[in-house]
Amino acid sequence: MLHDPAPRRPLSPGERWTGLGLSLLLFGLFVADVLSPFEPRKLAFPLLLLFWAPALVVHECGHALAAKLVGWRVTQMVLGVGPELFRFRVGETRVVVRALLAEGYVVPTPRVAGLARAKSALVYAGGPGAELLVAGALALAWGWGPFFVQSDSYPLIACQSAALALTIGAVTNLVPHTLAGAANDGMGILLSPGLGLPHFTYLLAVPASRAVEEALHVGDLPLAAETADRALAAHPDNPHLALLRVRVLSATGETDAAVEALEALRETAPRDPLVEAELLHAAALIALYSQDPELLGRALQAVQAAIHAGGASARFEATRGALLYEQGRMDEAFAALQRAYKGTRDPILEDHCVAYLALVTQALGRSEDHSRFARELSRRGTHAHLQRKLAEASANVGGDPR
């Protein structure tokens, strides 16, 4: 029995068509209301919705520009939520565009740790600041007084709607809160002065960590090893980069070498909670890749200790769910994987969750949920070792992994 009252699961084709039909119906009613009787000022709200997407682009570009100005890197910009439409690169930044341009984020990382707290706050402020700057420029272009009056002028209504979309985006992002475990801009500005060096040491490793995960995702083990070695050579004292080598060794099946490297790193790594959590998580991943019964027996304790040390991040929960699956504890595995799936916006981690949720729901005999996750998995793709595991599990029950 699945105890989650609202599990995250992919939509079925019927649900997609139902959602599309309802959306078209609501859109038709909305258009009818605007047109009967028609007044120019009735266009204000439709234009507000129309300008939300450009306001989002201004917001994320503001973060990226602020990061560049303070000397940080921006490795990824995601615009929107939902299915990915396309991606492209601008310099070293990968830009991902998704179906619904309602929200987004950037991944800024420091090159060095100097003045990192102040720079972090400035990067967080860059998004709302850019929106308010553009909104203010629109108001000044029309004149401060004339801009704030009702009018039937189409250009003025368009500019007012654009400025309102920009202002709403800025203000809502400045109200401190967290979303999927991540601080929004307002919360980030408040938290930045209290962040310690370990946090920025971790952030510095994020670009290389991402590149290694992408290489492992497509099964390019030589590229993963080369990326990890190059990053560690540039920052030999960064324990998170040293852990990338352990990650690659475990993925290539060199379990003994991975364990030896992890033990050596444990002796030299700084004793802070974030590093300790990553060390424990790396130990759990070694066991997961090895499928060694003796290591798997201790791996669950390791990942639970990682969660205790570093908090219940989506990555740790996803690994915990995978280990619970390996131990045959399917209900607990489903719950942990759902927490991870709900708590992440990272496409690679989502792939991991979808793959294991397909396995878990198959083991639980929930054919409808399994079909949803398997269908989503065939659309997304996944790690090579998970593809093999899915094929083996499907062969054991006489099914098709797709």
Alpha carbon distance 304, 306 (integer Å): 5
Alpha carbon distance 119, 69 (integer Å): 9
Give pLDDT tens digits for 56-100: 999 999 999 999 999 999 988 999 887 777 788 888 888 888 888
Alpha carbon distance 350, 191 (integer Å): 27
In the predicted model, what is the mean pLDDT of residues 384-397?
A: 67
The number of folded domains in the chain is: 2
Q: Which domain covers residue 362, as residue numbers?
A: 197-397
* Lookup: tokens for 44: 């204000």
Choose from 136-150, 159-173, 204-218 the range with maximum mean pLDDT: 159-173
Residue at a domain's end among 142, 167, 194: 194
Alpha carbon distance 219, 382 (integer Å): 10
Do residues 56 and 69 share a domain? yes
Is 36 a member of any domain?
Answer: no
* Lookup: tokens for 192: 């930045």
Alpha carbon distance 177, 350 (integer Å): 23
Alpha carbon distance 40, 127 (integer Å): 31
Listed in sequence order, the residues at least 6 apart from 281 whose beta carbon sits closer than 8 Å to its beta carbon are 302, 303, 306, 310, 315, 316, 319
Q: What angle do CA 199, 204, 205 make, to 5 degrees?
A: 100
Give pLDDT tens digits for 35-57: 677 677 777 788 888 899 999 99
Is 176 a member of any domain?
Answer: yes
Around 255, how many Cα atoms within 13 Å sit in the side-chain half-sphere?
13
Give pLDDT tens digits for 204-251: 998 899 889 888 888 888 999 999 999 999 889 899 999 999 999 998
90: left (phi over 0), alpha (psi -120 to 50) or beta: beta
* Lookup: tokens for 172: 């809502």
Give pLDDT tens digits for 13-36: 666 677 667 767 776 766 776 667
- Contact by Cβ (8 Å): 109, 73: yes
Q: Is 114 helix (H, G, I), strand (E, B) or coil?
A: coil
Give pLDDT tens digits for 103-126: 888 989 998 877 889 999 999 999
pLDDT at 2 over 50: no
Do residues 128 and 174 share a domain? yes
Average pLDDT, the chain: 84
Is 67 a member of any domain?
Answer: yes
Do residues 184 and 230 share a domain? no
- Which among 109, 103, 123 has a CA at the least distance from the CA of 63? 123
pLDDT at 328 over 50: yes
pLDDT of 1: 39
Is 31 a member of any domain?
Answer: no
Do residues 283 and 345 share a domain? yes
Do residues 131 and 171 share a domain? yes
Please name the residue ranges forming H helices in 83-220. 116-142, 144-147, 154-174, 185-191, 197-217
In the predicted model, what is the mean pLDDT of residues 133-142?
A: 93
- Which among 303, 314, 385 has a CA at the least distance from the CA of 353? 314
- Contact by Cβ (8 Å): 211, 227: yes
Is 10 a member of any domain?
Answer: no
What CATH code is carried by the domain that includes residue 277?
1.25.40.10
Lowest mean pLDDT among 161-170, 290-299, 320-329: 290-299
Is 323 a member of any domain?
Answer: yes
Q: How many beta carbons lie within 10 A of that of residue 184, not counting itself?
A: 20
Do residues 174 and 203 share a domain? no
Listed in sequence order, the residues at least 6 apart from 292 whose beta carbon sits closer than 8 Å to its beta carbon are 255
Do residues 102 and 210 share a domain? no
Do residues 183 and 218 share a domain? no
Alpha carbon distance 317, 153 (integer Å): 54
Q: What angle do CA 135, 68, 183 make, to 5 degrees?
A: 70
Task: Please list the residues that pair with 182 across neighbouring strands.
Answer: 179
- Which among 324, 303, 325 has a CA at the least distance from the CA of 314? 303
Residue at a domain's end among 169, 194, 219: 194
Alpha carbon distance 327, 296 (integer Å): 8
Do residues 203 and 188 share a domain? no
pLDDT of 6: 56
Alpha carbon distance 358, 355 (integer Å): 5
Is 19 a member of any domain?
Answer: no
- Which among 354, 370, 351 has a CA at the least distance from the CA of 362? 370
Do residues 136 and 233 share a domain? no
- Which among 167, 165, 134 has a CA at the least distance from the CA of 53? 165
Is 24 a member of any domain?
Answer: no
Residue at a domain's end among 194, 224, 239: 194
Do residues 213 and 177 share a domain? no
Do residues 228 and 180 share a domain? no
In the predicted model, what is the mean pLDDT of residues 380-402?
A: 62
Looking at per-residue pLDDT, the higher value among 114 and 337 belongs to 337
